[in-house]
Chain A
């Protein structure tokens, strides 16, 4: 088996690999050679070429127990692969469940832990250096992991995914079974109700997010129209979810989903600090609001003082026209 220094957990759902996987593999390449992808469950075969193209020389396929991919099971699987492969760094995407797994894994490995990471590099003496945002993304914090082992959860969209120039032509597959029972400590899921998919990208990892706030007065049709023109996700402010205009899982903010897409469009969003905490690290911020004093204009790259019900449909129509021209 090839020596691996970095392991990447591949998030997949119903046979589809999440976009974060290639971002993580791309980030892993900046830390060293010998990258192992970890695939929990079965179904890795058809994805091997793509994983190899992004730098994975080995794919570790791990059979989980009957409880499936609980954070404890994920942590145990990663700890066991880490020991078998001799890896020192494990990368995961920074979702809520993965952060739980990352915390448990760091304990198991006695590793340094960094979550919600927006940048990653190799520092002095081969230490992992991470970049994180703090205080509503108004500060940037660079930290180093001082232990030999590091567990790092990277935010979606933090890294632009790209194929490796010296990619392994084929990824070796190594299968593992969990060595022991998973220590779940008695918490048990008694019911799980999946939410129907909207057909739009996942809010947490979408490259474009269009958000409706109080200014929509409950009518999200133009927000959805612009999101669909841009193949984006639809989000909302706390006011909009509290009013019941849209389901709670669409809420962006410190207590909801944190997004850092390439493009954020806020429509009728005032930009209260609690909302900014969930979106201020977005690459480009566009805001449309009828109130010229709205705080969101202080952080918007492109702001429009106007009525969202005329501006958004006009923009959506123009974008559809341009995209049709581009073919």
Chain B
């Protein structure tokens, strides 16, 4: 089977993250990394191909250094990578992102049918989780999101997911799109040999022209939302820290009463 995994390059969650004055994610700090939750997506795809045979293509969209994210995917066992990179992509909102990724998946499908598209459950910078749903809709694929477990057999993908009030089992005929949670698997840590092998794997750079997408439909020009301002949240004021001397529970209760939280 042929699987496309969509990944995102994001600022390291342990680092100091910021926006630029234009309201874009500040990527100049050089501490970008493969979105941690996308490691679960790569792991799921690589495991499926190890089990069923086939090929994993890892796909990303973003500026030059986003290539690091697909390189990591190659180290984890993906066979080839596609990096959509175009200056006209800056400022793309989630709806434009999904449209571009869909065009890239169609482009990849020209070399052979894509049986499964796998994504992570969310990107740790925005956490909106809407791109998988939008991408499936653009590709007209059945969608099985938030998989905590996943299996492929007899041309069907089956997932189990935990929603707020219920556990659900879903099936969908292939080709399909699946998003996976961090419960799905334990991503492998590439060893030296895998890292060396990844250096020889191809990374194809694609522009909007390669995808046949009009630049007016991409980036800030094509987006339906626009960032007006981004500001660091002010630190919380009047913070109180006490050490228990036998009455901390009473003082905690008094704090809640004073703030009308009881």
Q: Give me the interface of A with B, judged by CB distance under 8 Å.
A: 13, 71, 95-97, 99-100, 102-104, 106-107, 110-116, 123, 129-130, 133-147, 184-195, 202-204, 208, 230, 248-249, 254-255, 257-258, 262-263, 273-274, 277, 284-286, 288, 292, 297, 299-307, 310-319, 322-323
Contacts and interface: CB of A to CB of B under 8 A. Distances in A.
B133 interface: yes
Contacts of B93: 112-113
Given A142-B230, A193-B167, A322 B236 contact: no
Contacts of A116: 127-128
DSSP majority for the A interface?
mixed
B211 to A, nearest CB: 19
Given A96-B146, A273-B13, A318 B244 contact: no
Interface of B: 11, 13-14, 17-19, 23, 37, 93-95, 121-122, 124-130, 133-134, 136-138, 140-146, 158, 162-173, 176, 181-183, 223-233, 236, 238-244, 247-257, 259, 261-262
Contacts of B232: 138-140
A305 B176 CA distance: 51
Contacts of B37: 254-255
Given A134-B19, A138-B232, A194 B171 contact: no
A99 B130 contact: yes
A202 to B, nearest CB: 7
Nearest to B259: A284
A71 B133 contact: yes
Nearest to A100: B133
A251 B92 CA distance: 31
Nearest to A106: B95
Nearest to A107: B137
Contact of A310 (B182, B183, B249): B249
DSSP majority for the B interface?
mixed
Nearest to B220: A146
A248 B244 contact: no
Contacts of B142: 184-187
A273 B261 contact: no
B163 A96 contact: yes
17 contacts: A96-B129, A104-B133, A113-B93, A123-B228, A136-B13, A140-B232, A141-B229, A187-B170, A190-B158, A193-B168, A277-B124, A300-B241, A305-B242, A306-B248, A312-B249, A316-B249, A322-B257
B34 to A, nearest CB: 15
Nearest to B252: A315
Nearest to A108: B137
Contact of A288 (B17, B168, B252): B252
Nearest to A281: B233
Nearest to B181: A255
Contact of B170 (A114, A189, A301): A189
B196 to A, nearest CB: 31
Contacts of A185: 136, 140-143, 172
